[in-house]
Each structure stands twice: as structure tokens, then as C-alpha cells.
Amino acid sequence: MSDRAQSGSVITADEIEQELALLCRLKSRVTGTAEHDELIEHIDDQLTKAGLNVRSDTLRFTRWHASSEGSSALRVSDRPVPIASVVPYSGVTGPGGTTGELVRLRGPAPAWKKARGKIAVVEVRNFRFPFSAVVGAWGRDSPWPVVRNPLIASTLAGLGLARARKAGVSAVIFVWRNISDDNARGQYLPFTLGYQGVPAIFVSGTAGDTVLAAASEGEQASVVLDYQLAPNTTTRTIWTVIEGTSRPDETVLVVTHTDGVNVIEENGHIAAVAMARAAALNPPERTTVFIFTSGHMRIPAVTSKGQATQRFLRDHPEVWAGGHGQRRAVAGLAVEHLGARELVDDPVTNTLRATGRIEPELLYATTPELAQLASQKWHGVNRTLPRISKPSPLIHFGEGEPLLHAGIPAISLVTAPLYLLAERSGDETHLVDKAALHRQVDNFERLYRHISSARIDDLGHVSTPTNLARLLGIASLLKAVAVTKALDLLGR
């Protein structure tokens, strides 16, 4: 009897170790890189060895990449200043960089024209954000607390880059505030924007102080982003279909993505491959499509809206849309960010430290029926009941979002630790709780066997957000942000 059969799990501890070792060796695997291609080939090989027919969708895009080691640099008055991170797909300078006067711009809507032909300096505060305003909770589950995640502040800051380019700004230096150096370092943020056409970087801590002081004196600086644009770069979304034994025209979609920046983002293939192998040996009653999406780290290149799996749904309505001659998707699972350990940031002491706990699981269900199912089948830490989250009218984080907007009932895990989008140097194994990862794989398998069963007919109806609901959601968010800021000013 195999270790899997003995444990009652679809995966063994040794198999988890092997997959994590591969991810730690590959390190960052942003879309279209050699490391990303290697992971896709690895997944393809695993599925093929399980006797599955692997299909492949080739996607083409223009990739932005470093020309060489040491391709980014900042000098202020001819003194080197450390960079926390480079804004991905911001711009290029060539090896000589761009040099100009530092101009400090203030406020949430910088007057970019003041820095025409110069280098703009903009402070970015890593502010506290009322997470419950964009992620709801089902029933009596406790609401999400206020968070301070660099994803939010950096994305809002990055939205100004298009205006900076139009204003003729030569480069932009974003100065982090209210964040530790370790938390700021290597953040691949913002990652959802198209190519901006203006070089941009982040600095933090004392480096930020140096830049601000120099800008107040109108000193000169040089920003180097020796990057290139590579048109017609290819990447692959791979997928496989396991035919249902009694309801083959009804499908279940199991989704993850393959591109990422560290051992947590993304490791969802560990569960999806294990589930596919188990399904190949014990076929489900409903047909299942296992989808390993590419493009999550370069969303604008593969779809004009939503997350990267939106592209797969657009290209393959035959497996889900339910029209004439098409199969109909009755449910989905989106698997991301397994086993994430919690780190907390203390800007006052400039430390990013482990708590010894796993990061709170962001587990979505998009119908009341699936919320009830998740509360029954998903085992939390020490078998505690999980918090089941509900998408807000404004956003559904992760690759489960396209399923929501396609009207496919789904359960998704998209836990969001502070380091989720950070490219990290050194060993990354300390970021993963292997027992939690194993538990989450088993949870997904348990859910999958339930929703793929022909005995289960009522998985609920997805309510897609209306325009009015979105407007009300925006108003509620603005109110929650204002209240949070007011409490911060009062020191509460």
C-alpha cells in the first residue's frame, strides 16, 4: 500500500518536500522566465506520467526583464543609495541611466508637471486598510481586521505613473513610509499594471530619508533601470480533462497559476497535481478540468479584465459555458498560497518577524451553499472552524475571480501574507508550514470529491455584483478608510 493510501491523503510528506525544494531552487518565476518555463515543464511531466493528456495554450507577450546582474541602481549627488525594489514593467533607461534634479511632489494627486524632465520623489505611506470593506464574511463569521499590506499602497501609487509619463517626468522614486526595510525589500509591486514607460523604484528607511533631504535641496540623482523589452515572448497555460463517469457534460474547474515570485506565490500546483493524479486513478462522476494558468504575474498581457484565468475562460467556452454543444461548469476550486506562515511588520523598530502562526486563511465561497459546505469540510488549525469569506461587490482576490464573474459557484484559497509578492534572497523554507500545507491539500481534495459527486445538485447560484452594488461598495469603502484614518490620528 502506498504512503498516500496509508495516510488517507492524496499526497505524502516526501512529495511535499520535493515540490518545495524545487520552488526554493527556482526562486522567482515571473511570467515567461526560464525558471517559470521549468516549473511548467515539471507540472506537464507529472501529469503526463499520471497518464493524463496535457493540453497547452501558448500565449505571447512583451516581457520586461533585466539586461544583466546589477541592472538597477540609484545615485544621489554621486553617492550610491540602496533600492528597496524596482516597479515591474515601469520603464527602461539603458546602462547609462537617467540623470536629473530631484523634485519632491506632495499629496495623493502629485502635480507631475512640476517634475517635467526631472526625477520625481513621492512619499508612499503604507497605511492601515479596513480589509473588511473589500472582503466580507458569511453568516456570523468574524469580520477581517484592519491590515497594512504593501500591495494596497503600492498599487494606488503606481496608478500615477501613466500621468507622470504624460507629464514628461524622467523617472520616479517612491519613498516608503510606515514599513520596515525587510518588508519593503524585493516587493514585486505593483504587479497588475501595463507597461508604464517611465522608470520607477522604491526606497525605504534611511535611503528614503536621504532621497527626501536631497530633493529638498534640489540635488541631482541618477536612476538606472538597465532593462529590456522582449516582444513575442511565449508562455504556456496547461490543462487536462478527466472525464466524468456519470455526468460528463457537467464540469468542475480546478484552477491555480504557475508564475510567482517565491515559495508561497505560487505553490498551488502542489495540491492541483496531487488531486489530478488521484482523480486519474479514481475518476469523478463529473468531468473535471485542471487548469494551470500562466499570466498571473503579467495580467494585462493576457486579458483586458479580471485575472489571468479570464483568458482561459474566453478561449475555452466549450468546457464551461453551457451553450449548444458546450459542457456546463457547475462548480470550481481555486488553489493558491498554500501553507503560508505569518510575519508581522513593526516599522517603529524596523523589524519583520515571524509569529509562529500560520497566516489567517483567506477562504472564499461565492454562494451560501458553498459557504456552508466549506464550514463543514474545511478543517482549520487544530480542526477549528475557518472564517469563510464572501466577495465584496468591488473585488474577489486571486484566480477564483474569473469563476465568480462567469457565474460558476466556487471556493478559493488566496491567503495574503505581507511577503506574498516579495522576491526574497536566501532560503525560503521558513515561510512554509508544511503541516498546514498538507492539511490544505487534504481540505481541497475533500471539497473536490464532494462537488464532483453527481449526488450533489444544489451548489447555489452566484450573484454577480450590479453597478449599484459597486457604487454602494465604493461609498462603504471610502467611509471605512476615513474612519480608520481618523482613529489613527486619535492614536487608537
Q: Which pLDDT does position 374 carry in this prediction?
A: 96
Q: For 331-380, write each residue's pLDDT tens digit.
A: 999 999 999 999 999 999 999 999 999 999 999 999 999 999 999 999 98
Long-range contacts of 183-186 (CB under 8 A, 24+ apart): 183/126, 183/150, 183/345, 183/352, 183/418, 183/419, 183/422, 184/84, 184/85, 184/150, 185/84, 185/85, 185/422, 185/424, 186/84, 186/85, 186/422, 186/423, 186/424, 186/425
pTM for the whole thing?
0.95
Angle ∠(288,450,342) on CA atoms, nearest 5:
90
CB 268 within 8 Å of CB 10: no
Rounded distance between C-alpha atoms, residue 99 and residue 101, angstroms:
7
Tell me the average pLDDT of the chain.
Answer: 95
Rounded distance between C-alpha atoms, residue 128 and residue 214, angstroms:
28
Take residue 463 and report the three cell numbers written for it. Answer: 450573484
Given a cut of 50, whether residue 129 has pLDDT beyond it is: yes
- The SS3 call for residue 483 is helix
Cα–chain center distance at 38? 20
CB 369 within 8 Å of CB 302: no
DSSP characters for 10-47?
Answer: SS-HHHHHHHHHHHHHH--B-TTSHHHHHHHHHHHHHH
Angle ∠(55,56,57) on CA atoms, nearest 5:
135
Q: For 246-273, write each residue's pLDDT tens digit.
A: 999 999 999 999 999 999 999 999 999 9
Rounded distance between C-alpha atoms, residue 395 and residue 425, angstroms:
31
Rounded distance between C-alpha atoms, residue 263 and residue 21, angstroms:
9
- 334 phi, psi to nearest 5 deg: -120, 125
Rounded distance between C-alpha atoms, residue 294 and residue 302, angstroms:
9
- The SS3 call for residue 384 is coil
Rounded distance between C-alpha atoms, residue 203 and residue 181, angstroms:
9
Beta bridge partners of 202: 85, 174
Take residue 271 and report the three cell numbers written for it. Answer: 495540491
> CA-CA distances (angstroms) from residue 398 to 164, 334, 401?
29, 8, 6
- The SS3 call for residue 401 is helix
Given a cut of 90, whether residue 474 has pLDDT beyond it is: no
Instruction: Enter the DSSP assignment of 192.
Output: S
Instruction: For residues 175-185, give the mean pLDDT.
Output: 98
136 by Cβ neighbours in 10 Å (0-12 / 13-18 / 19+) ranks as middle
Q: For 55-101, write each residue's pLDDT tens digit.
A: 999 999 999 999 988 899 999 999 999 999 999 999 999 999 999 99
Cis amide leading into 266 (omega within 30): yes
Q: Which pLDDT does position 487 carry in this prediction?
A: 64
Q: Which pLDDT does position 342 carry in this prediction?
A: 98
Q: How much of the chain exceeds pLDDT 70, in percent?
A: 97
Q: Which pLDDT does position 489 carry in this prediction?
A: 65
Q: For 387-425, write each residue's pLDDT tens digit.
A: 999 999 889 999 999 999 999 999 999 999 999 999 999
Given a cut of 50, whether residue 5 has pLDDT beyond it is: no
- Biggest CA–CA distance in the chain, Å, is 74
Q: Which pLDDT does position 46 carry in this prediction?
A: 98
Given a cut of 80, whether residue 7 has pLDDT beyond it is: no
Take residue 192 and report the three cell numbers written for it. Answer: 497588475
Angle ∠(353,359,360) on CA atoms, nearest 5:
140
Q: Which pLDDT does position 376 carry in this prediction?
A: 94
Q: Which pLDDT does position 320 carry in this prediction?
A: 98
- 117: Cβ contacts below 8 Å, ≥ 6 apart: 100, 168, 169, 170
CB 103 within 8 Å of CB 215: yes
Rounded distance between C-alpha atoms, residue 323 and residue 341, angstroms:
43
Q: For 8-38, write each residue's pLDDT tens digit.
A: 799 999 999 999 999 999 999 999 999 999 9
Q: Which pLDDT does position 37 carry in this prediction?
A: 99
Instruction: Enter the DSSP assignment of 265.
Output: T
DSSP characters for 142-169?
Answer: PPP-EE--HHHHHHHHHTTHHHHHHTTB
Q: Which pLDDT does position 486 carry in this prediction?
A: 66
